[in-house]
């Protein structure tokens, strides 16, 4: 007689085996049939990028802040492929900067100075006018923690007129 928890565990393993087999069959089919592969790439590009971003966001739960920063930087580097990566990377950098991560604060200040920011509608658009006050504030937060690149940027920048 098999105990109930063991029976549930076996069913979960069987389900995992079936999902793995379906994934394996799909990948083999796409690799062997080039026309199907390119059809998926052409027609489902956004879904593939969203799935990749979701995978990276899931990984954030198991990482510390420094690893989160590396992941966010990777997303920004991959923004060459899709604006979906830009949105995800900038959002991750902003979250880290708001949590007090000095490298993220400096990087987010740099991105704001380049004209990239998240507006109230969570849309990311390059802007002609930068919010230098906001960027300066993020540089100050990083500099107060002893982050040397932020201190160097503050020594070169002229404080905005509307700074307190």
Domain ranges, ordered by start, for the chain: 1-43, 45-156
| CA 127 – CA 134 distance, rounded (Å) | 14
Beta-bridge partners for 75: none
What pLDDT was estimated at residue 164?
A: 59
What pLDDT was estimated at residue 100?
A: 92
**Cα separations (Å) of 74 from 15, 60, 83?**
33, 13, 13
Q: For the segment 99-148, what is each residue's pLDDT rounded down to a tens digit? A: 999 999 999 998 888 877 665 555 555 554 557 788 888 999 999 999 89
Closest CA to 118 of 102, 134, 100: 134
DSSP 8-state symbol, 55: H
What's the 3-state SS for 126-149?
A: ECCCCCHHHHHHHHHHHHHCCCHH
pTM more than 0.85: no
| CA 28 – CA 136 distance, rounded (Å) | 51
What pLDDT was estimated at residue 130?
A: 58
Q: Tell me the pLDDT band of 163, cut-offs 50, 70 and 90.
A: low
């Amino acid at each position: 007689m098999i105990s109930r928890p063991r029976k549930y565990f076996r069913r979960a393993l069987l389900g995992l085996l079936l999902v793995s087999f379906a994934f394996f069959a799909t990948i083999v089919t796409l690799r062997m049939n080039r026309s199907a592969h390119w059809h998926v790439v052409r027609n489902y590009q956004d879904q593939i990028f969203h799935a990749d971003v979701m995978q990276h966001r899931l990984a954030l739960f198991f990482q510390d802040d420094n690893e989160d920063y590396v992941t966010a930087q990777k997303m920004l580097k991959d923004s060459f492929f899709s604006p979906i990566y830009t949105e995800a990377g900038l959002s991750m950098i902003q979250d880290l900067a708001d949590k007090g991560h000095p490298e993220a604060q400096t990087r987010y200040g740099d991105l704001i100075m380049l004209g990239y920011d998240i507006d109230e509608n969570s849309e990311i658009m390059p802007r002609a006018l930068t919010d230098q006050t906001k960027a300066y504030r993020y540089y100050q937060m990083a500099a107060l923690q002893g982050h040397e690149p932020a201190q160097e940027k503050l020594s070169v920048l002229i404080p905005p007129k509307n700074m307190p």
